[in-house]
Structure 1
């Protein structure tokens, strides 16, 4: 059986184009650029359709890594999975998390399952397929492929599935219409929710969390259908889904572990504590001997029924600030307070990602003993 070692490195950034921290770690030999499999980032954009900090961040990383991989910048994206999530409202701090993977001999003194990572992607999707069963089916296939790439056979060992998915633009809507087809919506901003939701349902199907007979009309309507580990972000820069599976595997010799829990709402501190306890580190200040918090990944959304535990919220009615920005700030502050760090990955828009108004939260810890 192939044994891999996964590395996880959190790097603060001064702006979406700042690659100095990563380059410093490469220069010191801390990170081997040839082993980089995925980079997840939080950028200080608005998180909307016109958030070009995501594309800017990816372009900067590709340009910086190209000489180290002897590839032109445009080919770097074929080799490394980039997921840039815009929006660092409130106390959230911009940063990237770099995942590396290399094959190793499994040390005799390592027991149990350790962090493993796998990557796959769907075919390019047509505009009229976004937010519909075709995207669900293709995503489910890619999740299975990413699990195999990670050496994970049991869906219970999957703790977080990060997906970057496409959205609609006016040109893409017009292209579908020219073929005689209608898109799920004509709104670019609204299409982000459809794409995120369908992608999350694809994760749920792949992991057996829901039955595979999901219909087009279930997307953004059947909120009782959801995945407990899916995190999906929509962007303008691609037309396929990039799927990253994070879990624990017996084929990994990593010094990291991952655990997760599910938030029932935006103030569910107990779920965050459960996720921290799942990797045995607890709330800040983390004083567990031999274990160190690396990063927390979570989804956030304004509860669609307009209330949190029976009390009205105004996030959906604010015409100045979008609800996704409110939700990121609220959940980010809650997690930062419990984790003791504001450099956490909180992504807005949790359609079918956890129960309505809630979302999954995953924690990666380093075993330093």
Structure 2
């Protein structure tokens, strides 16, 4: 069998005693075929062990067979949920997703993107972990469609699927301020990331609206991981000098969980001594003790829309203006009025 040439549609047609167009109708379910002829074609396919050339079929019908997905890591559940959304969009059109995770491979994002380009995928959904565009991404964008998700990258005018992070940050900060907090600290994300910048801008707008000078609020930048949230919360609470903050605004849920851990390590209660909010509203955030107030992003929907825009582009369908997806503030138990402001 290993030395036998690959059977073709003509071989199937000859074996079944039908035309090549009849075989095509059966394979693509694209035309009427009498039951006896359909059965002969299916028998021939089984006997000859025929399998269609998917790349050729998709090229003929101007659709994709394989797309790429670049995501920083899967340990962050938000990234995993976006990836699931892309996969759902792809599977609905019988398209394969090649997943590239630079962090898992311990390779720089640029090397992984270059590897993806070598695989000749039809298009790419790209979720940046650095806030900068590696050189191979420009090559990908020149040779095929690329859709960005949860990020905007300088120098690249590409379709982008994002949420209204700025509004979400402004609203969750306003909730903290409405509870009476005035001693605040921000644990932000990587400063180069557009999402981090948007969330910080939203916090600052809320501070200014409450009569607080945004430049007087301590801002410490983390990396969206739990360990950095713990480290920076400890620094904000114990090492910055001046009065201890009564509220920590964390730019994602993983860092907020780290901040809760840090409070417990230094003997502070959440929320009685320190209120904490996050961003993303990961599925487990409502199950924590205390349950975490957070900004909900529709991660699955973001991935699904990114995959849909990419596939529509590949199939030549028009893609209209893309608006930011809405967010919502989920109020839970990790915020309460400060016991005192001394």
Under TM normalisation by the shorter chain, which class is it?
Answer: under 0.3
Tell me which of the two structures has the higher relative contact order, counting C-alpha pairs closer than 8 angstroms and 6 or more residues apart.
Answer: 1
Considering fraction of residues, name the structure with more helix.
Answer: 2
Indicate the structure (1 or 2) with the bigger Cα radius of gyration: 2
TM-score of the superposition, structure 2-length normalised? 0.26
Which structure carries more strand by proportion? Answer: 1
TM-score by length of 1: 0.24
